Amino acid sequence: MTSPRGAISLSTPFRPAWWLSNPHLSTMWGKFFRAPPPVETQVERWDTPDGDRLDIVRTEGTPHDAHAPTFLLLHGLEGSMRSHYTAGTLHAAQQQGWQSNLLLFRTCNGKLNDAPRTYHSGETADLDCVVDRLLADRPLAPLIVAGVSLGANVLLKWLGEQGDAARARVTAATAVSAPFDLALSSAHLDRGFSRLYVWNFLASLKAKALAKIAQYPGLADPERVKAADTLWAFDDAFTAVVHGFVDAADYYYRSSSIRYLHQIRVPTLLLSARDDPFHPPHILDEVARLAAMNPHLHLEFTRRGGHVGFVEGVTPARAEYYMERRIVDFGAAQLDRRAALRPMEAPASPG
């Protein structure tokens, strides 16, 4: 395992569940067998600069301490509050005393949004808008952000775009199972058993795309969308067309977070498994090479874990989820580090 560089680790090391013998089982366990912890939430709808609206899931009970951290989670492709990791992560952050939030990307609230667009792996304007609102709502609170899968790519791209400006906005970030190179991930998912994930995604993505085309006739070619049998074909027929890219290759190139890693200036944990079935293992070697030149990036590349899996526990009945604990521990460690580095305020002069 590649250890986090320069960070205080509060977690015990990841111990993969012995009873999940391959990466696909690790990936699918939470979706099919996990009972997520109960979390009291409310949904707020926030206006966007382009006249649309975003749904933000917020845990009930804002901390009384105005300095208590704010936490924001970004979900993966076609994720929602029903995703197996969202309630667990919000619960872990809430238990830490943080005010916790989940950004639902457009169309991921179960409704068709109003604007002639949806969401994609490189769309960062909505994240920027939500960060501004969270900071305005709780100006004394440090902000900690985590992204999962597609949400991890969005987060890393946004942090890179922000560069030095992010230091004043975000204290710590964690990217879990980021695809890093979207073209490589798309091609990798078209092989072998991983095709099952593609079929599952396409069923939902194509239904939404056709509904959006019906809402805005002429937005894209519905026949091309219907015929898409790979993520690349879908993104070429819909995502690229609707969001202003030349084609899928252009979308993947301009949106891949690996191009932005060198610009990140906020302590950021990259948590990925080498057996992740969503991307080829060698991409993590390239990420490690780039991260070696950026002291703000902390790597934790485990040998096992699958995609957004990281399941632990001596038996299935006692399963635990390392990802959620690690997100909170990394954020807490960076808060402690920032407090330790903050210069002592000079005492006021008498009289």
Indicate which residue of 26, 276, 279, 296 is catalytic. 276
To the query of whether residue 236 is one of the catalytic residues in this protein, the response is no
d(CA 141, CA 13): 29
Report DSSP letters for 297-350, one per residue.
EEEEEESS-TTTT-EE-SSGGG-EEHHHHHHHHHHHHHHHHHHHHSPPPPPPPP
Indicate which residue of 83, 100, 121, 149 is catalytic. 149
Burial 146-182 (b: 16+ CB within 10 A, else e): bbbbbbbbbbbbbbbbbeeebeebbbbbbbbbbbbbb
Strand partners, 301: 272
Is 338 strand, coil or helix?
helix
To the query of whether residue 276 is one of the catalytic residues in this protein, the response is yes
Secondary structure element (H or E) that encloses residue 185, with its range: helix 182-188
In terms of residues, how long is the chain?
A: 351
Identity of the amino acid at 206: K
Indicate which residue of 24, 84, 279, 307 is catalytic. 307
To the query of whether residue 298 is one of the catalytic residues in this protein, the response is no
Token pair listed for 323: 């990802």
Give me the active site residues, please: 149, 276, 307
